Amino acid sequence: MDIIVYNGLSRKREKLIPQKSEIVKFYSCGPTTYDFLHVGNARALVVGDLIYRILMSLGFKVNFVRNFTDVDDKIIERAAKVGVDPLVHSQRFIDECLRDMKSLNLLPPTHSPKVSDTMAEIIQMIQVLLDKGFAYVVGGEVLFNVPKFPDYGKLSKKDMEGLQHGIRVDIDEKKKHPSDFVLWKPAKEGEPAWNSPWGKGRPGWHIECSAMAKKFLGDHIDLHHGGIDLMFPHHENEIAQSECANGCTFSNNWVHNEFLNFGSEKMSKSLGNVITIRGFVESFGGEVLRHLLSSVHYRSKMEWSDGVIERALSEIERIHLFAVEIKKLAITDRESESDILEVAKIKENILKELANDFNVPGALAELFSMIRLINREYIASSQEGIGQRLKDSILGVLSLMDKATGLVYENAQEILEKVGQARKKISGADKLSDDKILSLVEERKLARSTKNFKRSDEIRNMLLEAGVEIKDNPDGSTTWSYK
């Protein structure tokens, strides 16, 4: 199936055509490992994983590289504060990041390179840029000469001369042009450093991704992904140094996910409005975070709110209640050819949505249309059972959504229990134990049976304030749930 991608380079929707038949060479900028990741970081991670899954579900083989930046100014600063070696500090948070990735149901990429393990390739690429006249050395520092690359700005559409250098930032007198950027930094005391032809030092940020992409994917790749904040200068600089060093196009397609906003502000550590992945997962579960981040198209800004979390909980519950119920249905001859055809059409529509610029929300809408159909005609029906062909088709749709989006889980009952616990947290009902809730429900039943309606109402109100709703059923039983 053809895949249409909104290409950030052309600002157009284009067909994704891999250079090598059905193998897609795909690079996604990974995290800088200096601290626990926040939920804004999680959006880029989840989008990269969705692209990977969708490509494979549509029949492509994918060579997927997602890096770890473990050599960086922020890492060095944070390590100095806690008094540990920067590489030891970064490795600690690589390990923490891997734990977060697992909780978000991310598939492992083909390669997960670290900057510290790619130093030979970084130094070699810098040397090529020097040999070709695209870079220069000043006092042990290597800088990329931006005016030597006429296409600079083709991704971000920024005019190099219109960046108002010297007004927005202080001009570095060492540079031949204000836009020139660092490829290699001289060593400073207490910082990690490697030997190079220009003296001991470490790489600049931008060259790191170019070298890691080249090492594992070659000079020319099919698809590059990252957050919209990386378009300039990071991705722009990647293009400049890669195309000058390699003598060819760096990436045919560029995909950028939009920001996750928190309180109408972009979520970032500098703003202080940060929720870590770890903290969210411990409270509500990684399944909830993955779902809410997937429920809005990657090119749309996402506003973080309690309502977004509640909607994700409701959708997860709806999907997995359906999964439990459909598996329980006995096999009978109850099925119609029109329903079989409708489910097959829904599966085809899901694939079309996924191939349409990775439209996961569109695929979810198709899944819910199937759930409505089957709930109405088979699960909610007074008759029991379902035909084998229809049941197999339904399970096939659930399996496709599992593989392509990671939003449908085999252990449906366990997911439903997690949803219940998450609702308990949101409502504040976690202040009451389940035993205490049951005890109050029983006390209320007794009060009602003795016509003590005042006490019955008091208990109902007490439970409501704690986030617990109770329901008196026609058969005389009483059930309860978290709001």
CA–CA dist 85, 180 (Å, integer) = 30
CA–CA dist 358, 223 (Å, integer) = 13
Within 149-299, residue ranges assigned H as helices are 205-217, 236-246, 277-284, 286-294
Instruction: Decide if pLDDT at 167 tops 50.
Output: no
Q: 379, 371, 329: which is closest to 350 by C-alpha?
A: 371
Of 127-136, 268-277, 299-308, 401-410, minimum mean pLDDT range? 268-277
Tell me the pTM: 0.87
Alpha-carbon Rg of the chain, whole angstroms? 27
In this prediction, residue 273 has a pLDDT band, given cuts at 50, 70 and 90, of low
Q: Which residue has the higher pLDDT, 426 or 352?
A: 352
Place of tokens 């981040």: 293
16-271 CATH fold? Rossmann fold (3.40.50)
In this prediction, residue 170 has a pLDDT band, given cuts at 50, 70 and 90, of low
Q: For residue range 98-140, what is the model confidence (pLDDT) as tens digits?
A: 999 999 999 999 999 999 999 999 999 999 999 999 999 999 9
| Cβ partners under 8 Å of residue 431, min gap 6 | 466
